Amino acid sequence: MDVVGQLQNPDQGWMQRYDVVKELGDCYASVGEYENARRCYEKAAWLEPDEAGPYVGTGVIELQQGHVEDAEVAFRVALRLDGHNSRAHAGLAMIAQQTGRPQQAFDYYLKSLELDSNNLTALLGLFQVSCQMGTFAQVIHYLQVYLQMHPGDSSVMFCLAALYAREGQVQRARDLLRDILALEPDRQDAKDLLEEMEHKAVQINRE
């Protein structure tokens, strides 16, 4: 019997466990099998109606399929069940960002990171919205916090270096870019930005 058949068979005891069904839904979602994922999330929500997880999962797959209104409903249900769910806040932030509401997106991303500073989706979303709005202090803080936990993440390092450069913190940008190039010697965007920072450093010294 296939997994979907097992979901429909009440005699399959292991499929009556919330954690198993929810994790199976996540696995299906990760490989793009959205109908099977949706079926698992519906089953999980039936097993544990007060858990936010199945609604977050449903929101994610609806958003990936371009069903923005359905995704928003699912994320809002998740937040009603668990107001401290970082992923639900991040989901609403992505919707706000896609629908041209940068301030709301910023607020939701910030709340998501306040709840879970390790949420990379929220962190990169906050970086994008901050660049759009020209507001950098808070995203710099969360980038720094994230790098304390993941010191070798060169993508986040580059985001932070770019913000240092934009804020005129030339030496900090240079140091971080050199660290990136020690990890990835052929990374061209880091080379280009480092060259720009070296020129700025020379100009500052002349002044």
Q: How confident is the model over 35-59, as pLDDT tens digits?
A: 999 999 999 999 999 999 999 999 9
Rg (CA), the chain: 21
Q: How confident is the model over 76-111, as pLDDT tens digits?
A: 999 999 999 999 999 999 999 999 999 999 999 999
Are 142 and 160 in contact, with CB atoms under 8 Å apart? no
Listed by start position, the domains of the chain span: 151-207
Q: How confident is the model over 113-140, as pLDDT tens digits?
A: 999 999 999 999 999 999 999 889 899 9
What's this model's pTM, rounded to 2 decimal places? 0.83
Tokens of 203: 């100009």
